[in-house]
Chains A and B, each alone.
Chain A
Amino acid sequence: MAHQKIDTYAATLDPEVRQAVRSNSAAGTEKRYQILGADFGDPDPLRKLAGAIKQHTIEHLDQYLEQAERSLTANGVKVHFAVSTQDARQAVLDILNQTGCRKVVKSKSMISEEIHLNDFLEEHGLESVETDLGEYIVQIDHDHPSHIVKPILHKNRRDIAKSFEREGLGDYNDDPETITRRARAFLRQKYLQADAAVTGANFVVAESGRMVLVTNEGNSRFCLAGTRVHIALIGVEKLVPHDRDLAVFLNLLARSATGQQLTVYTEFLSGAALSARPSGPREMHVVFVDNGRVDTLASNCREILRCIRCGACMNVCPVYRQASGHAYRSIYPGPLGAVLSPMLAGKNFSQLGDLPKASSLCGACNEVCPVDIPIPDLLLKLRNRAKEEHLPSPGTPPMAPFAMLATAPMLWRTAMHAGVALDLTPKNLIPVPALQEWLKIRTLPAWRGGKFRSWYKHRPAKGKDRQP
């Protein structure tokens, strides 16, 4: 029997990787549960409030995006807009060229993964170095992140030690502390040599133009201390209306992502660095990127635009834990990715239209979501869309013969009576592959087809079976 693509991938996963993904995800879920429980008891009121603020924001995106543009401009930030992947890359390249920047340091940003920015910049002769430890390892391995918060969840220390040895960062040493120190020494030279920093943003406040960036390692801070130009690539949905809303989101983001009360470095930027200070960018650019988000806003899955990229849904997801992030064949894995990736794919929906099927609809993703996105509902809507677009559905038996039977009463009756032949046939001789596959793990009950009709036809006339 044909399997879904995600199952096929999961079946070939290295058992060690599967174990690492499973235990690390489970630990993430546990830490989230502990801290939210200890601090808020029932976190639902806070989650639902955050969801309501974001839903309000995306449903008023016309107003808030315009307001954010005004506020950022008033803060001295140059605001750019990019519709597609190509537009976003080009916008970054144009800014770098206009400001004479040749060397770039990057702080982890999922949107830059979406547009494959590093490859593009390197093709144009620029150096672009990832500075988040995990992302740096992904970059030197020419790999892709398998988790939006923990990009190298699929790698172990031995893999990393080999990569560092290959890159000339010292002899083979798989001690995590040594690995981290070597990255520290290497990357701080990169920060100081670089001309520009490319970052994402966790939030942009429409009323103040304040941009929020969070990291645990301090890499975005170092990017913004070493360079003279700051370019922030930001999805148009990243807005929140007011500064005060940050209290709601910051109280949820780190707890949901890593089980921390706050991420170590939480930066609030409203423009270039103070000119009287020696370090920090002299100019700041914001590129607001659509890349499928506006189409998502127009769809019946717009709630996914509430997402604040904490990764809690993938940590808790039984499918993610078995399959790992790369099984989703896209930038965003897990339940979030099963909705967002096909949506952002736009015209190429069909290529990822199978992802919404990779779920048992258990609802755990919705329960942990800090912005209460009804992910199972959205998965169902996308399954429906895939069906309406006649996408092939491996693993689902063809329904046409059943449809024929079910719409022709005569055929149905005949089939019901003939079905008894199944009881008389050795099951392993029935030449239907899907049935054989099914029978490997299940037994077929005795045939009872037609019994109801027979009873209905011969039931006692009305009233006769009643006792006085």
Chain B
Amino acid sequence: MSHRDQIFQGILKALTPLPERAAYPDYDTAATTTPRWLPAAEDNETLFRQRLTGTGGFFFESPADCAAWLKKDGAKSVYLAPQVAHLAAEFAAHLEVVAEYTRDAVDRIDAAVTVADGAIAESGTVILTDSGTPDRLAALAPWWHIAVVPRPTLVRTIGEAIAAFPADPGIVWITGPSKTADVEGILIQGVHGPGRQGSFFI
């Protein structure tokens, strides 16, 4: 008998004696999963800024602000994804702009600006997809990652983002910079992914 058959037969044998099986509970996602402070919270854009900052992330008023901050924080080179190539001038004023991201650039390019497919206000989360990101490594390997959020893609809750999952094999939600507390419970940012995670709206 195949392993598959053994497992399915075992499961049937385990479940058949049950006098009845637990029903799927009836529930309303918004009513059960909305934090109690959310209804009275700010509009989505303000809330996103607050929550992103709360996770250790950075919010910028404009591409120029972002570029100036990157320089000030120590970045020298920045990769711009094709969707934001038109912002090259703002970044070139402060940093070396790179238009292509390749595997051997992992340790060479300091910062990357890519475009999110969405964002979640209640958690300060940006939503990236394979379709929207030229290279998974670009949004992960640099110390600074800026996920640009197109305003219309911003949703309020985790539940709404799940209800509107894009058709893409690789969706990733990023909520703040990469972090660990493995060593004595001390919070350190930038373990494998970016140590600085930021966003601005377009």
Contact = CB atoms under 8 A, between A and B. Distances in A.
Chain A interface size range: 35 or more
A418 interface: no
B183 A133 contact: yes
Contacts of A38: 35, 37
17 contacts: A56-B21, A59-B15, A80-B3, A150-B185, A152-B182, A216-B180, A217-B179, A250-B158, A251-B33, A264-B175, A264-B177, A264-B178, A272-B169, A273-B130, A294-B14, A297-B10, A298-B14
A123 interface: no
B2 interface: yes
A271 interface: yes
Q: Which of B131, B179, B180 has the most CB of A within 10 A?
A: B180
A271 B194 CA distance: 25
B164 to A, nearest CB: 10
Interface in B117-139: 122-123, 125, 130-131, 133-137
Q: Which of B134, B137, B158, B192 has the most CB of A within 10 A?
A: B192
Contact of A294 (B10, B103, B170, B183): B10
B4 interface: yes
B80 to A, nearest CB: 17
Nearest to A248: B33
A274 B3 contact: no
Given A83-B3, A262-B173, A192 B22 contact: no
A265 B7 contact: no
A295 B10 CA distance: 8
Interface of A: 20, 23-24, 27, 38-41, 45-46, 49, 52-53, 55-56, 59-62, 65-66, 75, 80-83, 87, 131-134, 137, 150-152, 156-157, 160, 176-177, 179-181, 183-184, 187-188, 191-192, 210, 216-219, 221-222, 224-226, 236, 241, 243-244, 246-248, 250-251, 258, 260-274, 277-280, 288, 290, 294-295, 297-298, 302
Contact of A278 (B11, B22, B103): B103
Contacts of A66: 8
Interface string B178-191: 11111111101011
A27 B187 CA distance: 13
Contact of A262 (B3, B140, B175, B190): B175
Given A27-B185, A221-B140, 9 more contacts: A39-B37, A60-B15, A188-B192, A221-B172, A224-B136, A236-B7, A243-B163, A278-B135, A294-B10
Contact of B176 (A56, A264, A268, A270): A264
B8 A277 contact: no
Given A176-B188, A274-B131, A39 B10 contact: no
Contacts of B181: 150, 258
B140 A56 contact: no
A47 to B, nearest CB: 11
B168 interface: yes
Contacts of B172: 221, 265-268
Contacts of A160: 183
Interface residues of B, number: 74
Ranked nearest first, the 10 interchain pairs of A and B with the lowest CB-CB distance are A218-B193, A298-B14, A274-B130, A294-B10, A225-B136, A217-B191, A134-B182, A39-B35, A247-B159, A176-B183
Given A82-B3, A290-B7, A217 B35 contact: no
B15 A61 contact: yes
B192 A41 contact: no
B41 to A, nearest CB: 12
B184 A156 contact: yes
A179 B84 CA distance: 35
B13 interface: yes
Nearest to B23: A56
Contacts of A65: 7-8, 11
A262 B123 contact: yes
Contact of B183 (A132, A157, A261): A157
B36 interface: yes
A350 B183 CA distance: 35
A364 to B, nearest CB: 20
A61 to B, nearest CB: 5
Nearest to A39: B35
A56 B23 CA distance: 6
Contacts of B176: 264
B192 A297 contact: no
Q: Which of B36, B173, B176 has the most CB of A within 10 A?
A: B173
B169 A270 contact: yes
A247 B158 contact: yes
B183 A280 contact: no
A279 B182 contact: no
A184 B170 contact: no
A143 to B, nearest CB: 13
Contacts of A45: 32
A81 B188 contact: no
Given A222-B192, A243-B162, A274-B131, A49 B25 contact: yes
B178 A216 contact: yes
B22 A24 contact: no
Contact of B178 (A131, A218, A268, A277): A218
A134 B170 CA distance: 26
A24 to B, nearest CB: 5
A77 to B, nearest CB: 10
Contacts of A87: 3
A224 B15 CA distance: 36
A349 B122 CA distance: 46
B184 to A, nearest CB: 6
A13 to B, nearest CB: 17
